[in-house]
Amino acid sequence: MGFISTRLARLHDKKQRRHPDSGILSGAEPRHLGAQDAERAVLFIHGFIATPNSFADLPDYVAARGWHVRAMLLPGHGTSPFDFQKVTGQELEDAVLQEVEQLKRRYATVVFVGHSMGGALATIAAAQSSPKGLILVAPYYSVTHRWYYMMRPETWARLASSVTPFICAPGTRQPIRQTTDKGKIILYKWIPLKSVPVAMALAEKARHEDTLRKINMPTLLIHSVNDTVTDPAASKKVYDVIPSPDKTAEWLTRSNHVVFWDYDRDQVKESVSRFLSRWES
């Protein structure tokens, strides 16, 4: 079974369009937007098996407001799942902190926007580097439990990884409710199960009290109550623990996990805009 899944993943991987030099999938590239000489910057951190493409046009929207935008590409992402299976949690954390350091050298104000696993990474990085602001969108602190699960998804992943190195996640099951843009979201179709414990460890670290007690900067949480991937109840628990005196939680009702491509996308833009406006005067 392991040989079959690896072979299928390899065959699919070879068919993907990618940049001949970097190996990055077409449309998955990291992005720099907005004026280099701006006084403030936003760092976008995408999620598990995803790319900066997950944020849709939100980076462009923020850049148009006068911010410099950096939408990073995490190690092992946007190239091949065979790359991702070699990446450690520390490498992911270090990559984010390296981006933060580069932005802080040039910009007086730096704000993080983290989605899904990128939300966990943004939480960890914020605890270590104290950005001016933190925006968490559908952050991954735990997987959403469904009534038909026989066991926790994390437990299932541990067991499955001993049988097969990859599982297939069909593009038709992308976690958004509106169907028009489903095919536009760039995700790995084949998920390396070795990478699941890496994400789980990041989530555990992000939700730990030692991390959360350092989140004192203005914080905005945006999460859909209908998220089938990351657990909104876990986000609520984290939100309640965060000691920041300036924090806001907004609960969406029409979207699933990738809210930037879903029915609430305009509401997300408005919420992000309102949050960032405090540094725009």
Task: Between 147 and 52, name the one with better pLDDT.
Answer: 52
* 100-112 average pLDDT score: 98
Q: Which amino acid is at 165?
A: P
Candidate from 122-126, 194-198, 229-233, 263-267 with smallest mean pLDDT: 194-198
* pLDDT score recorded for residue 147: 46
Report whether CATH 3.30.200.20 matches the domain 2-276. no
In a 13 Å sphere around the CA of 35, the CA atoms on its Cβ side amount to 9
The structure tokens listed for 132 are: 């001016």
Is the pLDDT reported for residue 148 higher than 50? no
pTM of the model: 0.94
Is the pLDDT reported for residue 146 higher than 90? no
CB 107 within 8 A of CB 196: no
Task: Determine the Cα–Cα distance for residues 256 and 264; give it in Å rounded to an integer.
Answer: 9
* 88-116 average pLDDT score: 98
* 263-279 average pLDDT score: 98
Instruction: Give tens-digit pLDDT for 50-87.
Output: 999 999 999 999 999 999 999 999 999 999 999 999 99
Task: Between 100 and 20, name the one with better pLDDT.
Answer: 100
At 97, the pLDDT band (50, 70, 90 cuts) reads very high
Is the pLDDT reported for residue 153 higher than 70? no
- Phi/psi for 244 (5° steps) reads -55, 130
* pLDDT score recorded for residue 110: 99
- What are the structural domain ranges in the chain? 2-276
CA dihedral 159, 161, 164, 168 (to 10 degrees): 100
* pLDDT score recorded for residue 34: 94
* 20-25 average pLDDT score: 92
Q: Which amino acid is at 14?
A: K
For residue 215, give the nearest of 204, 206, 227, 203 by alpha carbon.
206
Instruction: Give tens-digit pLDDT for 167-217.
Output: 888 655 688 999 888 889 999 999 999 899 999 999 999 999 999 999 999
Is the pLDDT reported for residue 226 higher than 50? yes
Task: Determine the Cα–Cα distance for residues 62 and 241; give it in Å rounded to an integer.
Answer: 29
- The strands making up 219-224's β-sheet, listed across from edge to edge, are 31-33, 68-71, 40-45, 109-115, 133-137, 219-224, 247-252
pLDDT averaged over every residue in the chain: 92
* pLDDT score recorded for residue 165: 84
